[in-house]
């Protein structure tokens, strides 16, 4: 067997409360790993999927990592190349942590590394997005872009790569709790209303603008006041067990803001430092432990690297 290339692509928090489909950040952990190596059999094949409890298909047309990688190989005119791919899922599926984005990013990033980087990292985005589309049924890059490139990113337009990295004040930490229920992004998108009342539109715009100013000026108070989703969160909260109880516990424990991570069911909180992030995590956990709801807690700084070769 030939030596392979192993890559890591991190989990991410889409929407970040105030930027539906346009704002997201990457976590340091968890994340997915993909191993690729050349093989004598022509064409791309997925030879192993670990950690997915049999939930993910080996068929390239149906697998986010495989499909994204295939689209990249087509673009490069390399579909005849014999390549084996292993997908090691190291994060929950349908969790709101950008699981499908992580697989898609890991797939394209690994292929690009194996072929000695024919494309720049940023240029892999459209291919990763095609993989993400399979899972979510929508073209949005608020998970895929930070997963690939790292950081807290604002995606003004993913087709023209009009993507902007926001500064993150020193010390900012994320707490994410995943209650073990599955929410499919497609379903969480289908319940959203097509229209936004003008008052909510005004509030949400003001919050997004203020959040960005807060990030640029390291104005922790402003970040805290701005980190409120008045449009999407009220529509999706019912999909998540004890959402408002968990949020209240996080706010009482001193976090800056707390909302749904991506399409849910994970809930994220952004705190001024790691100590508060841990206390917030304890408070969130207590709600689910008392209610006997199975959950996993992640505490992480903002990952500035994105996908990396291991």
Binding site for ligand HSE (CB under 6 A): 14-15, 20-21, 136, 140, 142-143, 185, 188-189, 262-263
Q: How far is the CB of 145 from ligand HSE (least distance, A)?
A: 11
Q: How far is the CB of 50 from ligand HSE (least distance, A)?
A: 23
Query: Token pair of 238, please?
Result: 């019912």
CA–CA distances in Å: residue 133 to residues 20, 86, 123, 222, 244? 16, 21, 17, 34, 30
List, in order, residues 6 or more apart from 246 with CB less than 8 Å away. 177, 258, 267, 284, 287, 288
Any catalytic annotation for residue 132?
A: yes
Give CA–CA dist 34/252, Å, rounded: 39
Q: How far is the CB of 307 from ligand HSE (least distance, A)?
A: 17
**Cα R_g (the chain), whole angstroms:** 19
Catalytic residue among 22, 64, 185, 255: 185
| Residue where the block lists tokens 């997908």 | 87
Q: Are 255 and 269 in contact (CB under 8 A)?
A: yes
Between 129 and 280, name the residue whose CB sits nearer to ligand HSE: 129
Between 73 and 126, name the residue whose CB sits nearer to ligand HSE: 126
Any catalytic annotation for residue 185?
A: yes
Q: How far is the CB of 234 from ligand HSE (least distance, A)?
A: 14
Q: How far is the CB of 24 from ligand HSE (least distance, A)?
A: 8
**Phi/psi at 88 (nearest 5 deg)?**
-110, 100
Between 86 and 229, name the residue whose CB sits nearer to ligand HSE: 229
**Phi/psi at 219 (nearest 5 deg)?**
-95, 90
In three-state secondary structure terms, 25 is strand
Catalytic residue among 84, 86, 132, 233: 132
Q: Are 87 and 56 in contact (CB under 8 A)?
A: yes
Instruction: Give me the active site residues, please.
Output: 132, 185
């Amino acid at each position: 067997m030939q030596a392979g290339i192993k890559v890591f692509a991190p989990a991410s928090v889409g929407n970040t409360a105030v930027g539906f489909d346009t704002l997201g950040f990457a976590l340091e952990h968890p994340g997915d790993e993909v191993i690729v190596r050349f093989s004598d059999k022509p064409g791309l094949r997925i030879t192993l999927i670990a950690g997915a409890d049999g939930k993910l298909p080996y068929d390239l047309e149906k697998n986010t990592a495989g499909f994204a990688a295939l689209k990249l190989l087509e673009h490069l005119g390399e579909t005849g190349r014999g390549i084996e791919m292993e997908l090691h899922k190291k994060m929950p599926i349908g969790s709101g942590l950008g699981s499908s984005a992580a697989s898609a990013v890991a797939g394209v990033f690994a292929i690009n590394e194996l072929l000695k980087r024919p494309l720049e990292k940023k240029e892999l985005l459209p291919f990763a997005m095609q993989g993400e589309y399979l899972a979510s049924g929508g073209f949005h890059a608020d998970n895929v872009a930070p997963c690939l490139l790292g950081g807290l990113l604002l995606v003004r337009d993913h087709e023209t790569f009009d993507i902007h990295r926001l500064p993150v004040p020193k010390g900012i930490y994320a707490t994410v709790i995943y209650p073990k229920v599955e929410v499919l992004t497609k379903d969480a998108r289908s319940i959203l209303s097509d229209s936004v009342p003008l008052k909510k539109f005004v509030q949400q715009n003001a919050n997004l603008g203020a959040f960005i100013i807060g990030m640029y000026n390291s104005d922790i108070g402003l970040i805290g006041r701005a980190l409120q989703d008045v449009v999407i969160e009220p529509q999706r909260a019912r999909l998540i067990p004890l959402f408002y109880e968990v949020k209240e516990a996080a706010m009482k424990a001193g976090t800056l803001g707390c909302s749904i991570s991506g399409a849910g069911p994970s809930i994220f909180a952004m705190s001024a430092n790691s100590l508060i992030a841990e206390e917030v995590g304890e408070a969130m956990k207590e709600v689910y432990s008392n209610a006997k709801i199975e959950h996993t807690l992640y505490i992480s700084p903002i990952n500035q690297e994105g996908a990396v070769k291991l």
